[in-house]
Structure 1
């Protein structure tokens, strides 16, 4: 089973309607994709740091996802990791454990409550 990458903005926005599991270094979004297989996407905003920091974080996230999604990912779901402040300094093994825990919570449907909108 090969993993494919999410590239279209509409797919990222659709994933935002799915299950949200927050961890200290990232937020995992999981949304059924209608039989397209296991897909993943990574996003890191400019609030996190400059381009060097953001690209390093994205490389770490892609490596995490490529290692864990084939066995533990939800079938026929889009998985999106959103980088959070401090995620670049976190230990890689710790982030892997957090990703495994987040995937199991998402598989059980135990997402975090919806975000409150700022007024």
Structure 2
């Protein structure tokens, strides 16, 4: 099994903030399609595989707890990404406190459902950049 490609820079995480999102008890999945030329591998070649970012705030606990949560989320992504994640898209999983205690099977079920939801929203975005409807002038 091949390791998933991960997001490293803060700017990559911030770019995804305006995209599609779906919340579950254990995490929030945010996703956004990548524009051509955005993803460069270590050697400078362009990559079209799905990339993932994982965040766990200090509110969740000590470094040991946060790392355990990140490892569980990464394992779920490893299991589901090949068949559920879209290529040329970036995903961020923001951990919640129940990610530590939730069973791995329900964690994977939640992730699969979240992939379905955000991919549906990204399909309807049609390159607009945000899943929010445009607002009219305020009167």
> Does TM, scored on the shorter chain, surpass 0.5?
yes
* 2:33 corresponds to 1:21: no
Look at both structures and tell me which one has the larger radius of gyration over its CA atoms. Answer: 2
Q: Please identify, of 66-75 and 22-31, the stretch whose mean Cα deviation from structure 2 is larger.
A: 66-75
Q: Give the ranges of 4+ consecutive aligned residues of structure 1 lying more than 6 Å apart after TM superposition.
A: none
Report how far residue 34 of structure 1 moved.
1.9
Gaps of 5+ in 1: 115-119
Please tell me the root mean square deviation across aligned C-alpha atoms, in Å: 1.8
Task: Kindly tell me the number of residue pairs found equivalent between the two proteins.
Answer: 112
Aligned residue for 2:49, secondary structure, equals coil
Give distance in 1, aligned partners of 2:4 and 2:61: 28
Contact 1:3–1:70 (CA under 8 A) maintained in structure 2: no
Give the gaps of 5 or more residues in structure 2. Answer: 37-47, 123-130, 133-139
Equivalent residues in 2 for 1:28-107 (5 A)? 28-35=29-36, 36-107=48-119
CA contact (8 A) 1:29 1:80 kept: yes
